[in-house]
Amino acid sequence: MIVLRILEIFASVLAAVYLVVGLVRLVRPRRVGRWLPVVLVVAAPSVAQATVINATSCAKADVETAVASAVDGDTVAIPACASTTWTSAVVTSKGITIQGAGIASTTINNNGFDMTAVDGKAWRITGLTLTGTACVNALTESKAWRVDHVHFSAVSPGAGRCQNRLIWIEPTGPDYTKGLVDHNTFSNPGGIQIHVRPTGDGGNGEWLRALGLGTDDAVYVEDNTFTSTVYNSSAPVNDCDAGGRMVFRYNTVVNSYFEMHDAIVTGARSCRKWEVYHNTFSMDHEFGAFVMLGIRGGTGVVFNNTYTTNGFSLVSPVGVALYRTGQTGGDPWDVLCSTSSGKATLASTTAPSGCTGTDNGCINLDGAGSGGYPCRDQFGFDGNDPQTTRPALFWNNTLDGVQTNGFSFIGPGTPSSYITENTDWCRSNTTSPPATCNGISTTYSPYTYPHPLQNVAGSAVPVGFPTGGLMPYFVEWAPLVFGILWHLRAVVVAGVVTALALGSSVAQAVEGRWTQAQVTTKQHVDRLAVAYVQWAKERKK
């Protein structure tokens, strides 16, 4: 054990030395550290010098004046204020950053922001707290927007703002959107927290485009905390329909749940795709929870999630539904799934509606199998005309520490006759997905984590201490380097313990530590690599 202790001390000292050398390199980069591996150097990315326009106060009129003078690429800085009530939203179509003085410093009560930038413009909202009815209305076709480091504190927009959503993502034109929601805190919400609904064509365009699992083609929700002190079934962490695409990863959810819609809402298709992984779902009181994930349409993957009940009742961590086997909705879903359910404009650039003939993308509503299988946009399917099987995959999820990769059926009707294991979905109780499912290769690789939009130049966020000079670089990158070295240290120690053969129980514990260290270290390395690439690009300018 003395040898182990010496190794730990050595690795810890080495980590400290790398941090000091990295910090010195920030100050005198030409004299220090050319011998260090570049991936382990605390390299400060150069920040593009966009114009910062300071609003003279938090008042809506002053913020609007600053926004009016900004051009694409500028930052509008809102100063610190305990709480300022807005009588209407700040609306802009510009590709700008709106940045408060920090979550603990800038508070906006009521209304919030309407962001309407088109494709080709990048926008961002960061560094503030929203209360009352304040929300973010993302009526945008931008492919590079970000909402981060915002505290949504007991926000309840109501029907008059953002459709009672805290972040309402609704591109209203013919194009689609993709962006990032990260490092936000949602506490005690009064409505759906993040909703993706492309409404320009009701989702037809989304179902005509490739699925794109493991690509950036989605709204990414990562590194957020969702907490409700009292469970509210009307305020899930998300919703998704009309061909929406969502990746939900590395989030913490307490007393709430993830959900989506199938093809049931008037003029809207089902949610298109979902990727749910590396999240922690838990409950801390009894509220009769049914599920923590409610899946109703489209296809995707669910893996490496942790569900914790703390002894409180839960029917199933995951529930799957197919509503049109027992309930009708609005046009064209006003008939139950069947071979004779009719046709709809599902291959057109207009929203789905009942039709006859072949004009305007008029195709069969459901499949030709028994009972209309597959129902339009149902769980485990891809494509449009015809629909094609693309089984959903579940692996390495745990409920109170035990592998659990199945689900319960929820909702009306008898979805179990339409959704069967090894046909529409497959599972694996290991750390890897099943090699094949229904004869289809299940090769899958998740998209880069963290999302590259977290690491674009100029992404530093006010956190309550000086942000000038070297401080933001040190705060941003030093923990990453330390994290890499610390977890590599854990791997070294684990290897020594295994070599000493101290018993099977210890070996099992070491294996768990090894896996954890590998995953965490990879996250740090991936993030640092993205940062270095950005830094290198900036240096060439």
The DSSP string of 107-129 is: EEESSEEEE---TT---EEEEEE
Sign of CA dihedral 57, 58, 64, 70: positive
Instruction: Kindly state whether residue 299 falls inside one of the protein's structural domains.
Output: no
- Assess whether 241 and 375 both reside in one domain: no
User: Structure tokens of 203?
Assistant: 């989702």
CB 426 within 8 A of CB 438: yes
- Assess whether 108 and 184 both reside in one domain: yes
Residue 261 pLDDT level (bands cut at 50, 70, 90): very high
Residue 296 pLDDT level (bands cut at 50, 70, 90): very high
Q: 377: domain range?
A: 343-387
Bridge-partner residues for 246, per DSSP? Answer: 219, 274
Sign of CA dihedral 63, 67, 70, 74: positive
Q: What is the pLDDT of residue 13?
A: 54
User: Structure tokens of 125?
Assistant: 């909202």
Residue whose structure tokens are 């009672």: 164
Residue 103 has pLDDT above 50, yes or no: yes
| Section 515-531 average pLDDT | 45
Instruction: Kindly state whether residue 57 falls inside one of the protein's structural domains.
Output: yes
pLDDT tens figures, 337-389: 999 999 999 999 899 999 999 889 999 999 999 999 999 999 999 999 999 99
- Assess whether 182 and 285 both reside in one domain: yes
CB-based burial, 12-24: b 16+ in 10 Å, e otherwise? eeebeebbebbbe
Residue 50 pLDDT level (bands cut at 50, 70, 90): confident
Q: What is the pLDDT of residue 209?
A: 94
Q: What is the mean pLDDT of the chain?
A: 83
CB 56 within 8 A of CB 77: no
Domain end residue (candidates: 355, 387, 419): 387
CATH of the domain at 176: 2.160.20
Instruction: Kindly state whether residue 437 falls inside one of the protein's structural domains.
Output: no
- Assess whether 250 and 152 both reside in one domain: yes
Q: How far apart are CA 452 and CA 539, in angstroms?
A: 18
CB 46 within 8 A of CB 538: yes
Instruction: Kindly state whether residue 462 falls inside one of the protein's structural domains.
Output: no
Residue 461 pLDDT level (bands cut at 50, 70, 90): low
Q: How far apart are CA 169 and CA 305, in angstroms?
A: 25
pLDDT tens figures, 182-195: 999 999 999 999 99
Instruction: Kindly state whether residue 325 falls inside one of the protein's structural domains.
Output: no
Residue 485 pLDDT level (bands cut at 50, 70, 90): low
- Assess whether 136 and 186 both reside in one domain: yes
- Assess whether 149 and 271 both reside in one domain: yes
Residue 453 DSSP code = G
Residue 538 has pLDDT above 50, yes or no: no
What pTM was estimated for this model as a whole? 0.79
pLDDT tens figures, 441-453: 999 999 999 999 9
pLDDT tens figures, 2-18: 544 454 455 455 545 44
Residue 426 has pLDDT above 70, yes or no: yes
Q: How far apart are CA 319 and CA 421, in angstroms?
A: 14
The count of other CB atoms within 10 Å of the CB of residue 63 is 24
The overall longest dimension of the chain from CA atoms, in Å, is: 81
| Section 216-230 average pLDDT | 97
Domain end residue (candidates: 290, 311, 327): 290
The count of other CB atoms within 10 Å of the CB of residue 511 is 12
User: Is residue 56 within a helix (H) or strand (E), and if so which, with residue range?
Assistant: none
Domain end residue (candidates: 370, 387, 404): 387
Q: Are strands 106-109 and 81-85 parallel, antiparallel or unpaired?
A: parallel
Residue 393 pLDDT level (bands cut at 50, 70, 90): very high
Domain total of the chain: 3
Residue 465 has pLDDT above 60, yes or no: no
Q: What is the pLDDT of residue 199?
A: 83
Residue 42 pLDDT level (bands cut at 50, 70, 90): very low
- Assess whether 64 and 192 both reside in one domain: yes
CB-based burial, 457-494: b 16+ in 10 Å, e otherwise? bbbbbbeeeeeeeeebbbebbbebbbbbbbbbbbbbbb
The amino acid present at 473, given as its one-letter code, is: Y
CB 166 within 8 A of CB 143: no
- Assess whether 100 and 39 both reside in one domain: no
Instruction: Kindly state whether residue 165 falls inside one of the protein's structural domains.
Output: yes
| Section 440-469 average pLDDT | 76
- Assess whether 63 and 142 both reside in one domain: yes
Sign of CA dihedral 478, 480, 483, 487: negative
Residue 229 DSSP code = S
User: Structure tokens of 115?
Assistant: 């962001």
Q: How far apart are CA 470 and CA 468, in angstroms?
A: 7
User: Structure tokens of 148?
Assistant: 């981060």
Instruction: Kindly state whether residue 499 falls inside one of the protein's structural domains.
Output: yes
Q: What is the pLDDT of residue 466?
A: 32
- Assess whether 276 and 356 both reside in one domain: no
- Assess whether 27 and 172 both reside in one domain: no
Instruction: Kindly state whether residue 412 falls inside one of the protein's structural domains.
Output: no
Residues 6+ apart with CB under 8 A from 523: 449, 450
Q: What is the pLDDT of residue 501?
A: 38
pLDDT tens figures, 270-283: 999 999 999 999 99
- Assess whether 36 and 56 both reside in one domain: no
Residue 537 has pLDDT above 70, yes or no: no
Residue whose structure tokens are 């305020």: 235
